[in-house]
Amino acid sequence: MRLPARGARSVRVETTNQTSFLPMSSTVPGAAGYGANASVLASQYESITFSEVYRDLLHLFPVQPCAVLDIGAGSGRDAAELSRRGHQVVAVEPTAELRAEGQHIHRELAIEWVDDHLPTLAALRRTKRRFDVVLLTAVWMHLDESERSAAMEALAELSAEGGVIFMSLRHGPIPEGRRMFEVSAKDTIQLAAGFGFRCDFEAEREDMLGRSEVRWSFLALHKRVAHR
């Protein structure tokens, strides 16, 4: 078997009498388990709306068009709604199969899809762009403690002054085949404070997909404006 080229979407598999192309799943640890089930997962993610997910925080979203970064965008449900609302949206998604689903489902929208990942977001940081809104919906708990620290540093760099991070954290049993950690809202607020973010909203709620064993924390973390 040949190794895939960097950034390749599929891998060429050669056996003695056959050549075929298989989709390439991400090598990002936190993305484990997403590629193989991408179309089922995309339907599940699209079965709820942005307004249902962010029900309790809708009043905190900017109304004026601004730069939005959706990290771990999945099928692009939230990226799509914010794009429809007139924002300029970059959707980062390391799982090629989910990225392809999102690009297809929301093909009529001007979402910029990027193959990058936490904790470093190296490709995006090279562009020196800054974002007014950063979304991390059901993503942060895929990172271990040292990755979360490095990721918060990246988020501080990518956030515009006065910008806001909206984050949801999953609590409950870890699904088979996934890499996930129990991460508390309290520890996340504390980590963010060390990088210049103030928590303006914290709430816990039931699962949007009706799983009784799962609960979610929601946070809004505002980047303090530096006084010169």
Nearer to ligand SAM, 52 or 187 (CB): 52
Measured CA to CA, the distance from residue 70 to residue 92 in angstroms comes to 6
**Which of 93, 38, 51, 46 has the alpha carbon at shortest distance from 71?**
93
- Per the structure block, which two tokens stand in for 180? 């996930």
Measured CA to CA, the distance from residue 211 to residue 159 in angstroms comes to 33
The reply on whether position 154 binds ligand SAM by CB under 6 A is no
Among 25, 83, 95, 217, binds ligand SAM (CB under 6 A): 95
Write each residue from 37 to 66 as x if it is in contact with ligand SAM (CB under 6 A), else as -, in one continuous string.
--------x---------------------
Among 139, 158, 169, 221, binds ligand SAM (CB under 6 A): 139
Nearer to ligand SAM, 76 or 163 (CB): 76
Nearer to ligand SAM, 20 or 37 (CB): 37
| Interface size with ligand SAM, residues (CB under 6 A) | 20
Cα–Cα distance list, 62 to 102, 160, 197 (Å)? 24, 13, 17
Q: Check the CA dihedral 108-59-224-150 and report its sign.
A: negative
Cβ–Cβ contacts within 10 Å for residue 13, how many? 12
Q: Are 84 and 11 in contact (CB under 8 A)?
A: no
Measured CA to CA, the distance from residue 216 to residue 206 in angstroms comes to 6
- Near ligand SAM by CB under 6 A, which window of 12-20, 91-99, 154-162, 188-196? 91-99
**Which of 196, 66, 195 has the alpha carbon at shortest distance from 131?**
66
Among 68, 96, 118, 183, binds ligand SAM (CB under 6 A): 118
Q: Are 163 and 132 in contact (CB under 8 A)?
A: yes
- Near ligand SAM by CB under 6 A, which window of 2-10, 11-19, 27-35, 216-224? 27-35
Nearer to ligand SAM, 143 or 185 (CB): 143
The reply on whether position 94 binds ligand SAM by CB under 6 A is yes
The reply on whether position 93 binds ligand SAM by CB under 6 A is yes
Residues at the interface with ligand SAM (CB under 6 A) = 28, 30-31, 34, 45, 71-74, 77, 93-95, 98, 117-118, 137-139, 142
